[in-house]
Structure 1
């Protein structure tokens, strides 16, 4: 890590008008995608049952008896646009009328986005409000990707998912992902419903399982929704950076696999491709290590969130002092807000009472090439990650939405 940057003059919280706009929740948002898919399959999307409120579709999709929804983790819209010459299928589909750009939510991170996708709710409703967040019942951090067996995912996120709703309407729902996702905390919280098919970590095996599920439904004359997840593009970006040749090479593999998938799907199937977030590269000299700056830990019980959106859980009454201290230290590299300010800005959407304590008392949101790390508790390989996400920049929150009828 580099030595601390020069101190800057103290600054107060920015006025609301200076804050980045809240992500849209509903039309134009990842939260509206499964409602749009459900409507295209002929499923009633009204807000019944009571725990699964109506959601505004992200856009109008054409009617189809079967849909294959592919989510490519970490495939941001701006990065795809910059590398369009390496992705001819994606380039062609992005030029079609069925293409759009969606926003994920805040933070722009996988757990939060899976909550958006699966429930159709904003983060303040589904409760998956970051990578590592406070479990108020235990006063301990919960990693919402790795999870913790002490936390019941169905209590953490009790709302009916769209996979459950679509399956209850008589649609064959199949989810295709790595085997260890089956029954995981995040899957049970956000993406439960239908049957699960685990495949080897090969993209052809993943897409092949999706084709098989849809072909079986077509032979039986049944409507079907198959969801396929691919995570290696995200892992490559974290390890090497979204600006690396390795990321470009993996994008080429994804593009070729999607083109092959489109050729193999049963006729009449709607292929929908999207992502959960984008990514930016953060060099080693653009990081602050809280383990080396004890003054930043003063008044803080837990340092959660992630490097681009750090969530600080403070001692009672300490949040204003903590926020002021972090603003002074970081200057214009980050927005430092107390929870009430971020909620009032609409970044989490409508925040339910049960969810509010999971959000940090103080949020440190990167506003430039910048990240916060903690070498006292982060694994060495995590400290070396180049690609990062979580904040509100377009590179992190905008994702493609491609709809192709085959």
Structure 2
């Protein structure tokens, strides 16, 4: 079986965004892989679900993004192409194999259970699960005033503590309020780093699809606010906009429900990951048989890959040996618009979603890096 190609981490990825911004601010040890120009202050915006391919097809609705299209980079978010993993990649500047946040749902080694890295309900201690320092912590240690802006429930959450800890948190709800908070924060110190998160693009893509009217309308609103933010930033401040993943439309008829397929769970102990990138944790000694059965069952709809082969292929970047047990004995990666679901454990709301992500297609992997340099260094 020909394995799907790994993301091209070496040529630049989401892992390079925050270290490059920190390098532009003069933070020691920061390697500016993206070669950003020096700045005294910086704002970084992450628009959840704003894939590079989806944005490129909708530039006619986004004049601010369109004005910077010539300098916009297209980089892989990393595998699996999902929010929890990408937040770890963004915050630490490391690929998923190094930071260990390896999917939407992941097995806790030694505890015989999976937990959700997005909600972090009953999750392990975040700072132990993901122990690498974040670039927010590194910038703060160098005297940079770091502010993170998002919804109030993010403050102190497991995912935030694992992937984005460092600096102070400022809660704001609507996007205009978050932009106002970012402007206030960046002006509050002569050397500052402000991070702003926005999640509505992702939500609408999941519910209505990434080609929908609703998705496009939200992009227009984001574009207007980013234009306002860029126009009001101090002259010594750069603005960088990126995303955590793209998305594909997965019709209900392209899905396979393992709970409704007799015998498909034979030899399977636990399932994790997500519908487009599933971790299969097998019973002892069953991985070879499960792989053969699932490969025959799924055919051309997905790749069924042993852990060692997925690691050797470079899907997760360089993998810390301590994180290997978090990866399924098998990793099932969907092709085209296929999804693998499990109605026995997945909430009905998740089963009803139209847009999905997690796999290795360019539609899911590639994210934009839009950079407006400071007008004066």
TM-score by length of 2: 0.97
TM-superposed CA distance for 1:77, in Å, is 0.5
TM-superposed CA distance for 1:265, in Å, is 1.5
User: CA 1:42–1:304 in structure 2 vs 1: closer, same or farther (change >3 Å)?
Assistant: same
For structure 1, the 5+ residue unaligned runs are: 1-13, 47-55
TM-superposed CA distance for 1:263, in Å, is 1.3
Where does 1:51-130 land on structure 2 (aligned, <5 Å)? 56-95=31-70, 97=71, 99-130=72-103
Confirm or deny: 8 A CA contact 2:305 2:330 kept in the other structure: yes
Where does 1:143-182 land on structure 2 (aligned, <5 Å)? 143-182=116-155
Confirm or deny: 8 A CA contact 2:123 2:158 kept in the other structure: no
1:142 is aligned, of 83, 102, 115, to 115
TM-superposed CA distance for 1:22, in Å, is 1.4
1:311 paired to 2:279:
yes
Q: What residue is the counterpart of 2:361 in the other structure?
A: 393
1:114-138 CA-to-partner distances (Å, cap 9, x unmatched) read 1111111111110000110100131
- SS where residue 310 of structure 1 aligns? strand
- SS where residue 267 of structure 1 aligns? coil
1:41-71 CA-to-partner distances (Å, cap 9, x unmatched) read 011126xxxxxxxxx5341001000000000
Confirm or deny: 8 A CA contact 1:303 1:313 kept in the other structure: yes
2:260 is aligned, of 272, 292, 297, to 292
1:358 is aligned, of 326, 331, 334, to 326
1:188 is aligned, of 161, 179, 193, to 161
2:234 is aligned, of 244, 263, 266, to 266
Confirm or deny: 8 A CA contact 1:25 1:32 kept in the other structure: no
Q: What residue is the counterpart of 1:36 in the other structure?
A: 20
1:8-53 CA-to-partner distances (Å, cap 9, x unmatched) read xxxxxx1xxx32221133541110111101110011126xxxxxxx
Confirm or deny: 8 A CA contact 1:111 1:144 kept in the other structure: yes
Confirm or deny: 8 A CA contact 1:29 1:58 kept in the other structure: no
Where does 1:203-214 land on structure 2 (aligned, <5 Å)? 203-214=175-186
* C-alpha distance in 2 between matches for 1:326 and 1:351: 25
* C-alpha distance in 2 between matches for 1:331 and 1:250: 37
* C-alpha distance in 1 between matches for 2:64 and 2:22: 25
- SS where residue 9 of structure 2 aligns? coil
2:342 is aligned, of 374, 384, 388, to 374
User: CA 1:149–1:289 in structure 2 vs 1: closer, same or farther (change >3 Å)?
Assistant: closer
TM-superposed CA distance for 1:289, in Å, is 0.3
- SS where residue 179 of structure 2 aligns? helix
TM superposition outliers: structure 1 runs of 4+ over 3 Å: none
TM-superposed CA distance for 1:260, in Å, is 0.9
Number of residue-to-residue matches in the alignment: 374
* C-alpha distance in 2 between matches for 1:360 and 1:294: 21
Q: What residue is the counterpart of 2:216 in the other structure?
A: 248
* C-alpha distance in 2 between matches for 1:132 and 1:393: 20
* C-alpha distance in 1 between matches for 2:129 and 2:121: 11
Q: What residue is the counterpart of 2:246 in the other structure?
A: 278
* C-alpha distance in 1 between matches for 2:46 and 2:223: 13
1:21 paired to 2:43:
no
Confirm or deny: 8 A CA contact 2:137 2:166 kept in the other structure: yes
TM-superposed CA distance for 1:224, in Å, is 0.5
Q: What residue is the counterpart of 1:9 in the other structure?
A: none
Where does 1:313-328 land on structure 2 (aligned, <5 Å)? 313-328=281-296
1:238-276 CA-to-partner distances (Å, cap 9, x unmatched) read 000001111111111111111111112122210000000
TM-superposed CA distance for 1:92, in Å, is 0.9
- SS where residue 289 of structure 2 aligns? helix
RMSD: 1.1
Deviates more, 1:323-332 or 1:25-34: 25-34
TM-score by length of 1: 0.90
* C-alpha distance in 2 between matches for 1:150 and 1:100: 35
